[in-house]
Structure 1
Amino acid sequence: MRPTGQGFQIENGSILAATGAGLKAMLWAGGQWLEAHSQIVNSLNVFPVPDGDTGTNMVLTMRAALAAADKAADDRAEIVATAVAQGALMGARGNSGVILSQFWQGLACSLAGCDRITPIVWANAAQQGVETAYQSVLNPVEGTILTVARCAAEAAQQSAKKNDDLTTVLADMVAAAQTAQANTPTLLPILQEAGVTDSGGQGLVYILEGSLRCLRGEPVGPVSADGGTATDWRPTLELGEAAYGYDVQFLIQGERLNVEEIRTQIDRLGWSTLVVGDEHLVKVHVHVHDPGMPLSYGASLGPLADVVVENMALQARQFARERGGGTHVPPLSLPSQLTDRLRDSMTSIGTVCVAPSQGLAHILQSLGANQIVLGGQTMNPSPEELLAAIDKFHGNDVLLLPNNANVILAAQQAQKLSSKNVRVIPTKTIPQGIAALLSLNYQSDLAANAERMLDAAQQVQTLEITRAVRDTTLSGFQIKSGDVMGLLNDELVSVGRDYDEVTLDVLEKVEAGDCEVITLYFGQECSQAQASAMAAKIKALYPELEVEVHAGGQPYYYYIISLE
């Protein structure tokens, strides 16, 4: 059944325009269609390893966007679009999620002042979304979600010149996106070799397809029977209720409101601050321990509207219950708050590190990391989560180490959103992060340390040992499901049937004898005895090397090995 007049302007069977309510319905359908196909998106991983998470990341980003849209002040298109953009930005996960959030950001900017979305308005907004998404990436690569978005927006521009039906324009966008997605392997040889198309691009295709199904009145279906996406994802770091506080959101209405001054005052009251608006209307979002303080301040400036106060501890417990059923991961045994404060007070520069497991988190803490954000493959942290960790450090100078290539964009967004002096050290692996931490000099300033830590990270080579989950051809290797793969600095260099055999083969290829120290972090599927036996083999082959073994407890990777 096609949409009725609610949310859409319909004449003679054509949808001439959508309101904010219509936009919300389109994006909800897009999110549902993506979620129903998220495992397909996850499977489009160049490396046949069990950590594909693009679909999961895009679903979680859309959920954050839609949750914010549900709280929009009214159904004007600009208000809903702004809410979508802000929700996606704060909740973006992984590089694909960050790029998607930037598309919505550009779309929202284009819709400023718009109550309704006509075909030409939609086409222009999509074009602005593409431009903003491209600008968010330091070195844009074709054959990715960016290409798919660009081709879809170009099709919308052409279609809107000839059609006044939003359904027709969106159908042309979908067709162009599908064609561009099918062609991504011709633009990225690594996709062609692996026999897959781009995962982020496919996620965007599903979002556009779902939105089109909304306009056509077609069902978008439930989450896929195999569990979908976020049902496979769960928080792995539990915090006490005091660490959550309250999520406070409201609008301030008034005359000559000073957005910058309001942002400064609100930021002093809590963390994860987001203040946007103009001299007549300001949207405030902040996390606090005392919700009365920002509300009292806001009320002193003008009438409040759309007031929302939510207990985040209750939300977190509900979130965990909804995603239960899997293996329970106990909370990190973090130092006491007093110990944290004492450690923080001894340093003028704070360090926030992302870690994929408790074992690696403890190692990073032992090296001086002030805050740990648990996350990594299949559980990328959002900018909002990184912001919360940044805000916990007492000082203004913070170094942020993502320790995962797929978290770097989210870290950079957190840097932009933070009111503190934050430098992102673009560490792509745990060994790089550890090397960076070891080089930190508290007697130097933030800029000097950022340069020193980046240099230290680049001196380390990272070897990762894992198993393939599907048959494929990659880097000249014929890979069968179950094969052991050795990745050196994210490049496949060895394939075999035995963990130790592949590990030793990679060490030989990298000329490990020229190194000084090898540190082996064994994963959750490996025992201490197995890791020690592996270390003994390495020591026997390279007696001059110092070989260290640590329990990393990381998922998916049997060994993560640092070579220095």
Structure 2
Amino acid sequence: MTQNGNISGDQFRDMVAAATDWLEKSSQDIDALNVFPVPDGDTGTNMLLTMRSAVDETFKYNEPNVSTVALAIAKGALMGARGNSGVILSQIWRGVSIALKDKTDICASDWAAAMKQASETAYQGLNNPVEGTILTVLRDVATTSQQELENGVQSVSELVEKGMNAAGESVANTPSLLPALREAGVVDAGGQGFYTILEGALHFLRGEIEDMQFRKSRVITGNIPTGNLAGQYVVDDEEAFGYCTEFLLKGENMDIDKIREWLKKKGVSLIVVGDPTTVRVHIHTLKPGSVMNYVCDLGTMHKVSVRNMDEQHEDFLALQKERMPAVDTAIVAVVAGDGLKEVFKSLGAQSIISGGQTINPSTKDILQAVEAAPSDKVIILPNNKNIILTAIQVENLTKKKIKVIPSITIPQGVAALLAFDYEADFETNFNLMKEAKENVKTIEITRAVRSTKLNDLNIKKKQAIGLLDDELCAVGDEPKAVLDEIISKLDLSKSEVITVYYGADTTEDEAKILETELIEKYPSLQVEMVNGGQPHYNYTVSIE
């Protein structure tokens, strides 16, 4: 530290180098947090390699001031960025360099400004920023740094400490913001990496270099319980994963915005950052050749990396299978809607595939879930008549023993799961579940997508329509009125429970009104209201 407690250029460089060494100790622990279905490299390793490149660049300058070091870090990070996390990290350092331009040393207000600019720059670099990631952690650090500065903190070291503590709390909260983290029972890997970098910087500022040799950073645990979700596998709306494609493009007068707009049509997880002479690109694409043909006309490509994510996904499935507790019979279910997914997981389904009406999963999707299931005996619940035949195809594509319960509705799938007996064998459970699905009536309320005449019903486009056990039987202007009409025609003398799963297009207030009315009309029945979150269907109703 300088005499006034500020950080000089040499100290800034050494601080970043020490933080990189500290990150290296935990890079494998951070890698282990990568549990998403499409692993995009290894977060800890990618962040470490990016930081090493940044540090190497700083040692090309003698007696540098803070501004020079910051620019060198940003340049080195951009040139050496690896993976999604590395590119985002390079943008963090770019923001820091912008805030520290023309600075000879760093005071507390400079550090707060650097964190603020880093956050803004990182968010701007992504097409679709996702909360619950390193972006959220960085923003929380920036907010805390500014607040602490306004509260009178004047020491850079103390401000870094306050920011690091905020980062720890933010990392612990990431599972509450990102369902995939909550289901996997881990925190965000990039956020953990950034916390570790701040922690290493703080150790340096405190003069704890010797102590750093014999310790390493802790892996933060989430601050919400994961319940029984560990060991379950969720396949989201699926298609071929393609290739994780990364490269550095060097040229003159390149238009970053134009490059980004063109590449948006060629893939997902797109990041395009840099300046008119140097552009870093990260994209997941099915046709990396098309991407490269385009950019080759703009400049020269360097540090090209193309990784087959379908192969990475197979490795992930094998890892997931190893992590899952063994069961005699595993259940794979096709479900749409976050609430309904939670219902099926709570009832014991080990693998959930996102799908249903209008979003039918492919044979590949179902096969991948079957292979990931923690048993060689698997029962599949399609829960939609258009998915049954697809599920049956899987029987000939795997060495596992497969049974398909021909469930055509969500309530049938729930009834089948409730009948599952953990002490029974595979064949017995199949028969129990198949029989149970027949003992439930299903009402589904949606809106017509076109005008037609069917089952003696004149239907206008966007009118509410009702199906009873997949047969169209009612039409009206309002979903609740159509549901009332169907229920009123049923013989409920032997029924005990009405369960209503309300969809994404139905408000909680509407659901509460319906619940009150059903209780008043049918006092002898137990009425349950569940936020299913399913698309397209206002209500999916089970009557047992």
- TM-score, L = length of structure 2: 0.48
Answer 1 or 2: higher relative contact order, Cα 8 Å, separation at least 6. Answer: 1
Larger radius of gyration: 2
